[in-house]
């Protein structure tokens, strides 16, 4: 049975990914921090902003076959209002944690010459968003990491791919008017976490696809 680790798996996209993998017979563990996990799955409490906790988590978990770097935080601010704290907090979760989770997962996968890393970026990582410059920057960084790491790990039989969700019906978008959001989408509706999970599973089970960026956004980008 293949082992899957999903960061930020308490709610939303992470939860949908976990439930789909469990349904398909995978051994799934999710990370959480300050958010209740309300469904049946193995959990690890980890503050992903702290590299030492990431390292300890992987030591405790042991070998894994699939890593889904899903955890992320958003920030809606103009650049002139963005503080050093904002910068450090958002980059710590959205970029640094992705990097070091990928590092420790790769160390595990290299021993078996197989594995899959799937990163969750955003359509704003592809095209940028006004008033979300910091968030857009970090998500673009995830895309860059995906492309570079895919080349580095391909000779070892490890795939690295990226899913870029559009406007998804999750807690992150609850602050906005749903009708207004739907008006921005050519398909006329928000995406679901389950639709992102299907894209993640596709990459997890595709041995000859690597370094690819897949937009799941209803036609926005």
pLDDT-based confidence at residue 124 (cuts at 50, 70, 90):
very high
Q: Is the pTM here over 0.85, yes or no?
A: yes
CATH of domain 3-115+123-216: 3.40.50.720
> Which tens digit of pLDDT belongs to each residue from 51-83?
999 999 999 999 999 999 999 999 999 999 999
How far apart CA 46 and CA 52 sit, in angstroms, is 10
Catalytic residue among 26, 99, 135, 208: 135
Half-sphere exposure of 30 (CA within 13 A, CB side): 26
Looking at residue 172, its pLDDT comes to: 77
In 3D space, the residue among 214, 200, 196, 150 whose CA is nearest the CA of residue 4 turns out to be 200
> Which tens digit of pLDDT belongs to each residue from 41-53?
999 999 999 999 9
How far apart CA 178 and CA 192 sit, in angstroms, is 13
Domain limits, the chain: 3-115+123-216
Place of tokens 């050093």: 84
Displacement of CA 3 from its chain's centroid (Å): 17
> Which tens digit of pLDDT belongs to each residue from 125-171?
999 999 999 999 999 999 999 999 999 999 999 999 999 999 999 87
Decide if 135 is catalytic: yes
Instruction: Specify the DSSP element, H or E, that contains 158.
Output: strand 158-165
- Spell 47-78 as b/e; 16+ CB within 10 A means b: bbbebebbeebbeebeebbbbbbbbbbbbeee
Residue 220: partners with Cβ closer than 8 Å, 6 or more residues away: 123, 166, 167, 184, 185, 186
Give the DSSP per-residue string, 91-142. HIIIIIHHHHHHHHHHHHHHTTT-EEEEEE--HHHHH--TTBHHHHHHHHHH
How far apart CA 164 and CA 207 sit, in angstroms, is 20
pLDDT-based confidence at residue 120 (cuts at 50, 70, 90):
very high
């Amino acid at each position: 049975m293949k082992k899957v680790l999903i960061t930020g798996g308490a709610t939303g996209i992470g939860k949908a990914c976990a439930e789909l993998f469990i349904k398909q017979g995978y051994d799934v563990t999710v990370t959480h921090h300050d958010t209740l996990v309300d469904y049946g799955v193995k959990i690890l409490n980890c503050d992903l902003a702290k590299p030492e906790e990431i390292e300890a988590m992987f030591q405790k978990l042991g070998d894994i076959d699939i890593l889904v770097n899903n955890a992320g935080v958003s920030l809606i601010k103009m650049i002139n209002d963005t503080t050093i704290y904002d910068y450090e907090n958002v980059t710590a979760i959205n970029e640094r944690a992705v990097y070091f989770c990928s590092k420790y997962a790769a160390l595990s996968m290299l021993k078996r010459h197989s594995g899959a890393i799937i990163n969750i970026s955003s359509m704003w990582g592809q095209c940028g968003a006004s008033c979300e410059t910091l968030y857009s920057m970090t998500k673009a960084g995830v895309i860059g990491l995906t492309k570079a790491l895919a080349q580095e790990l391909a000779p070892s039989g490890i795939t690295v791919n990226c899913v870029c969700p559009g406007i998804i019906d999750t807690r992150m978008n609850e602050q906005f008017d749903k009708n207004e959001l739907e008006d921005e989408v050519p398909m006329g509706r928000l995406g679901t976490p389950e639709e992102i999970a299907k894209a993640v599973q596709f990459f997890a089970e595709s041995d000859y696809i690597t370094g690819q960026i897949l937009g799941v956004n209803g036609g926005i980008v």
